[in-house]
A = this chain, B = another copy of it.
Amino acid sequence: MKQRVSVLDTDLTLRIEEREVPQPGPDEVLVQIKSVGVCGSDIHYFEHGRIADFVVEQPLVLGHESSGVVTAIGDNVTDLEVGTTVAMEPGVPCGRCQQCRAGRYNLCPDVEFFATPPIDGAFCEYVVLPRDFVHPVPSHVSYDAAALVEPLSVGVWACQKANVSLGTRVLITGGGPIGAICALVARARGADVVGVSDINSERRERVAQLGFPAIDPVSGDIPEADVLLECSGAAAAIDQGIRALAPAGIAVLIGMAPTDTVQVPVGVIQGKEIWLTGTFRYANTYPSAIDLVSSGKVDLDALVSAHYSLDQVEKALTHGAEHPADMKVIVRVL
């Protein structure tokens, strides 16, 4: 049986290719793809052909924020039925190394992650995954929302690292999709989001529509916070955000900086005994992220601004350039 796949060639052009539908192994599941969200990393591979040491040296399928319907299960799979709506966790670790055994499977050196060379992603009609990384989602959750459980997981992980809780004053720098998601997760944990800063005024308006205080980092005052969730990758935001923290505050770097090193106010970190860390994807977040969506605590559908078909992946990848305040673009596969 054949499927249609959107392939990024090494010359950074996209084309549709016919490929064989894979067969699930004994512990695996075959999923028919429904919705796939566009992430900044997909756009970056399309534009630059690489992220850090990951280079598009052979044709690559992009897309790692995906949902679908189970269409076949392996012989050992007893707890998942054909027809179930599922959200796919796109990184499959080895399960055996020191990091995996310590519960930090996102740091597994042998993880295979969708749309990260040379591992193919989800801009296609069918994928196979181990059952343990295919998460059932209640049927009242839309396919789009199920796909966006992936970026939601990024926010869940960041808030968990920062121990965001009741009354925690949370400052978010960067009002793009991840910044907005972090704000939504923080609010769902009972925190007090004291501000979401962005240099783009359209994004600030969008953030304000979601019910958060939008801040212009150039002209506005930065309020004191207990937690900084840094989603811009901008050096100025990192500096400004850390300085806004109260004693014993926690700063989490989520956005990727364009440079390997950044000037960090170490004197402030020492004087206030601040903790600074960064996130690399997430681990063990899907169950609570799905709970967030299915309980209605977070409305992911409200973040979706545009839809494209599998034939229109290029349009989907370039949509954001002209619509900087649009949060999420979805490729609807079937």
Contacts and interface: CB of A to CB of B under 8 A. Distances in A.
Contact of A102 (B188, B262, B284): B284
Nearest to A287: B167
A271 B280 contact: yes
Interface in A268-319: 268-280, 283-284, 287-289, 291-292, 295, 297
A220 interface: no
A239 to B, nearest CB: 7
Nearest to A107: B247
A291 B192 CA distance: 8
Among A103, A160, A265, A295, max chain B CB count under 10 A is at A103
Interface residues of A, number: 67
A109 B274 CA distance: 15
Given A166-B156, A261-B266, A264-B261, A283 B107 contact: no
A213 interface: no
Contact of A272 (B107, B263, B272, B292): B107
B261 A291 contact: no
A102 B103 contact: yes
Chain copies in complex: 4
Contacts of A247: 99, 104, 107
Contacts of A95: 95-96, 100-101
A88 B140 CA distance: 45
A189 interface: yes
A105 interface: yes
Contact of A291 (B98, B166, B283): B166
Given A266-B257, A280-B273, A189 B160 contact: no
A255 to B, nearest CB: 9
Interface of A: 27, 52, 95-107, 130, 132, 156, 159-161, 165-168, 185, 188-190, 192, 238-239, 247-248, 253, 256-257, 260-280, 283-284, 287-289, 291-292, 295, 297
19 contacts: A27-B96, A52-B267, A95-B101, A101-B103, A103-B103, A159-B166, A166-B291, A189-B189, A189-B190, A190-B292, A192-B295, A257-B266, A260-B266, A261-B263, A262-B263, A262-B266, A269-B278, A273-B277, A274-B277
Given A27-B96, A102-B284, A192-B291, 6 more contacts: A102-B248, A107-B247, A167-B287, A260-B265, A263-B264, A271-B278
| A-B interface, 4 closest residue pairs, ranked by CB to CB distance from nearest | A103-B103, A270-B278, A167-B288, A95-B95
